[in-house]
Every structure is written in structure tokens, then in C-alpha cells.
Amino acid sequence: MECTQCDGSGFLFDEEARKAYPCSCRPSRLARKRAAAIAGRIPKAYRGVGFDREPLPSLERAHPHVVREVRRYIGSIGDQLDEGRGMWFTGPPGTGKTTLAMLISKHAMEADRTVAIYSLPRLLAMLRETFRDDAQHSLSQLVDMLCSVDLLHIDDVGAEQTSSWVLEQLYTVVNTRYEEQRSIIVTTNLIGTGASGGDDELREQIGDRTVSRLYEMCGDPFPMFGSDRRLEKQFNLPEPVAASSTPDPFDDSHWDDDRPRYGRAP
């Protein structure tokens, strides 16, 4: 939205004093500029995602409570992002976690909010690249940009190799967003359904501090358990024929007497 006070430059000019000074919109302009440097795009496979298109109707039948909460979040997405509330989804591969996360990110973009979308391995690779001599940004600059976007979408948390460096960098990003009340969307397959929440594996992978922050920012993770829809789509085989209805080609008793037999002239 264009500022009504300045000409879009982020500065106001005092004609009498012949002096320019920052407009009140300048901090948000700078934040959006930093965010734009790393803003992600919806991957091609998810650009058409919508509540009225598959696989959303199927996901809604399988997980009505989860999709209902996603609808509620998207319905007030401006307020959700302004207040720093996020969501996270857990379950085995192919159950629709990323689809729902991409749906949220897509609606945030349509609401003119800045969004960065990364798998965690890709995000960590970007952080590592800051140590190269020809790196475009320093580590602190990249973390600052990651924390400037309105919504940070991290996919596949738990798909990376754990190290002390990984734990520290991930915590830095998540904690900074927590302190700045910036929203985050996360998918992971490392939370089960155990009596204690089943998050021991995730805590071991990314650290107790990071998991604790995610609970504070996103509440309880939404479970997405079931069969792998990708495999079902790929291997859509016909139903097997019952054995009792399949004739035995070597059983003569099922042949009519007036039909030719193998080796016999008609």
C-alpha cells in the first residue's frame, strides 16, 4: 500500500528548512526490502492449491479438524501474522502436511505479506554459504532477513544431519522470530502419538530449546497420520480378481464337450 505522507521514497521534505527526514513508513519499507531479498515462491507443484481442488477435499475428509483449523487461520490471516501466531503439522511422508502449509503461505502472499519458503536442509545450506569468501550476505545479515519476513515456512524439519552448529543456527532463527513476534509454519515427521506427546525424536534432532519455542509460537502440532497419498496416486492399480472366479486353463472339467480340445481337430 502506497504511503499517503511521502511520495513513496520513504522521506519527507521540509521546504522551509530545505531538509529531508525519514517518513514513518520508512522502517516498514526497509523491512520489506530486506524480506524481499529472500522471499520464496510457491513451488510449481503447489501453485494451484485451493480448498476446492484435490487433494484438499480428500484431506478434509481424512482430517476434518486439521483442515477446519487451517480455514480458521487463513480466514484471519492478517491478525494471525500481526500477532505472531503460527501452525505446525506432523505425520509421515505423503499425508498432506506440505500441502496445507503451502496453502497458508499462498494466502499470506495473496494478502500482500512477505513469505519465505524453504526446506530445512536448503535453509541450513544458505546459512553455511555465508562463510564463503564470495558470500553475498554475512550470517547475521541472512538471519536478519529471515526474521524480517511476515511468515517463515520451514518444510521437512528433521531431514537434516544434526550437529551443534545446526542446532544453534536453527534456534537463532526460531528464537529471533519468537522475540519479534513473527509467525512460522513448520512441517515435520518426527512427532508421533505417544502419551508424552511423542516429540523425543524431534527434541533430539533440533534441540529442546527450539522445540519449546515452536510450542509457544504454534501451539500443539496438528497430526496428519495415514497412508502415503503420493504412493497411492503413483500406483493406482486395479483391484485383484478373486481366485475363486479365475478359471484354471488346465482344468478340462470346465470345458463343454462340443468345444475343441487342445490337440484335437474341431
State the Cα–Cα distance between residues 259 and 265, nearest whole angstrom.
10
State the Cα–Cα distance between residues 150 and 39, nearest whole angstrom.
10
Q: Provide the pLDDT for residue 43.
A: 85
Which portions of the chain are predicted below pLDDT 50? Answer: 35, 37-38, 194-196, 231, 234-237, 243-257, 259-266
Q: Provide the pLDDT for residue 194.
A: 46
Element containing residue 174 per DSSP (H, E): helix 164-179
Q: Provide the pLDDT for residue 28.
A: 60
State the Cα–Cα distance between residues 155 and 102, nearest whole angstrom.
10
Alpha-carbon distances, residue 240 vs 126, 236, 244, 247, 250 (angstroms): 48, 12, 12, 14, 21
Q: Please give the grid coordinates belonging to residue 145.
A: 532477513
Whether the Cβ atoms of residue 142 and residue 118 lie closer than 8 Å to each other: no
Beta-carbon neighbour count of residue 207 at 10 Å?
19
Q: Provide the pLDDT for residue 174.
A: 95
Q: Provide the pLDDT for residue 148.
A: 86
Beta-carbon neighbour count of residue 239 at 10 Å?
5
Q: Provide the pLDDT for residue 115.
A: 92
Q: Provide the pLDDT for residue 250.
A: 43
Q: Please give the grid coordinates belonging to residue 97.
A: 502436511
Q: Calculate ∠ Cα 53-151-212, nearest 5°.
A: 110
**Residue 95: what are its φ and ψ, rounded to 5°?**
-100, 0
Q: Provide the pLDDT for residue 236.
A: 47
State the Cα–Cα distance between residues 181 and 95, nearest whole angstrom.
29
Sort strands 11-14 and 19-22 into parallel, antiparallel or unpaired: antiparallel
Beta-carbon neighbour count of residue 23 at 10 Å?
19
State the Cα–Cα distance between residues 28 and 89, nearest whole angstrom.
30
pLDDT tens, 115-166? 999 999 888 888 889 988 998 888 888 888 888 899 999 999 987 777 888 8
Q: Provide the pLDDT for residue 251.
A: 44
Q: Provide the pLDDT for residue 101.
A: 97
Domains of the chain by start residue, with CATH: 25-222 (3.40.50.300)
**Is cis: bond before 57, omega within 30 of 0?**
no
